[in-house]
Structure formats: C-alpha cells, structure tokens
Amino acid sequence: MRAVVITGGTRGLGFGMAQSFLKRGCAVTISGRTESSVQSAVAALAEGTPGGMILGRVADVASPGDTTALWEAAAERFGHVDLWVNNAAIFPAYGKFSDRRQSRRKRSFGRMLSA
Ligand SMILES: NC(=O)c1ccc[n+]([C@@H]2O[C@H](COP(=O)([O-])OP(=O)(O)OC[C@H]3O[C@@H](n4cnc5c(N)ncnc54)[C@H](OP(=O)(O)O)[C@@H]3O)[C@@H](O)[C@H]2O)c1
C-alpha cells in the first residue's frame, strides 16, 4: 500500500488528486487550515470511496511545525510516507510581484518556501 500526503486537499486540485489516489488503493492524508474544511473533505472522500484509507489533519503549510506534525501523523497512521504532494499554495493576483504589498509577498513566499 502506498501512502500519499497531499497538502491542501480540502478542495480543488488537491481534492481531485486525493480522490484519484484513493480509487487506486492508496492511503491518503490531506490537510487544510480549518477543522471544518478538513472534516467536510474527509467525509466527502469517504463517501466517494467507501473503505478508503483517509486521514485529515489541520496543518498550515506556512508553519514548519504544522508541516512536520502532518508528516508524523501520516507516518503514524499508515506506517510510512511514500509520496508528498506540495499542492497547497495561493495563486496571487496577476501583476508585478514588486508592486505587491510586503505583507502579501511574505504570505505568498511563506507558503511556498515552508511547504
Ligand atoms: N487552479 C489552477 O488553474 C492553478 C494554476 C496554476 C497553479 N495552481 C496551483 O495548484 C494548487 C492548487 O490550486 P487550486 O486551484 O486547487 O486551489 P484551491 O481550490 O484554492 O485550493 C487550495 C487548497 O489549498 C489549501 N490551502 C491554502 N492555503 C493553505 C495553507 N497555508 N496551508 C494548508 N492548506 C492551504 C486549501 O485548504 P483550506 O482553505 O481548507 O485551508 C485548499 O485545500 C495551488 O498551489 C495553486 O497555486 C493552480
């Protein structure tokens, strides 16, 4: 059994990847920033793949501690991690990066670099 971790699997592309991996018999761990988003995604995935091995965990990829805890939770539940998908990120508005406010620049880089 392959164990996959997808950061930001509560919706969008990450959720779609989670569905695909589950259908192929993989154990899947997803994350998101809120308990409610994670719980509803896990419920929807479980409904779509009855008996699927799914773990959901609140983890903000901008926090190194959360990211480490996410890995540890997946490894503890499924015994190992075979594949880590750095999916969670934000897709900032178009325009020159240098024109963006510093707080936005920090947020974008925080997510991409600490993931
Ligand atoms: N869709 C596109 O056309 C496109 C094009 C180019 C690149 N991408 C990239 O592909 C990835 C997914 O795109 P998408 O369109 O599927 O995005 P999306 O629908 O906005 O979903 C983003 C996912 O990431 C999670 N997330 C966001 N910030 C997070 C954080 N700090 N920590 C943990 N989870 C976080 C969200 O969960 P919560 O809200 O529950 O936290 C959600 O599950 C992104 O990296 C995006 O930049 C997408």
Closest residue by CA, ligand 1 atom 29: 88
Instruction: Report d(CA 59, CA 50) in Å as an integer.
Output: 25
Which of 5, 7, 11 best tests ligand 1's pocket when mutated (most atoms within 8 Å of CB)? 11
pLDDT digits (tens, 9 = 90+) for 17-27: 999 999 999 99
Segment 11-15 shows an average pLDDT of 96
- Among 4-8, 22-26, 35-39, 93-97, which is the least confidently predicted range? 93-97
What is the residue range of 14's domain?
Answer: 3-114
Closest residue by CA, ligand 1 atom 21: 12
pLDDT digits (tens, 9 = 90+) for 70-83: 999 999 999 999 99
Residue 65 has pLDDT above 60, yes or no: yes
Tell me, what's the pLDDT at 89?
A: 79
Instruction: Report d(CA 80, CA 35) in Å as an integer.
Output: 24
Structure letter (DSSP) for residue 93: P
| Ligand 1 lining (C-beta closer than 6 Å) | 7-14, 31-34, 37, 60-62, 87-91, 111
Does this model's pTM top 0.75? My answer is yes
Task: Count how many domains the chain has.
Answer: 1
Distance 60 CA to ligand 1 centre (A): 12
Residue 90's CATH number: 3.40.50.720
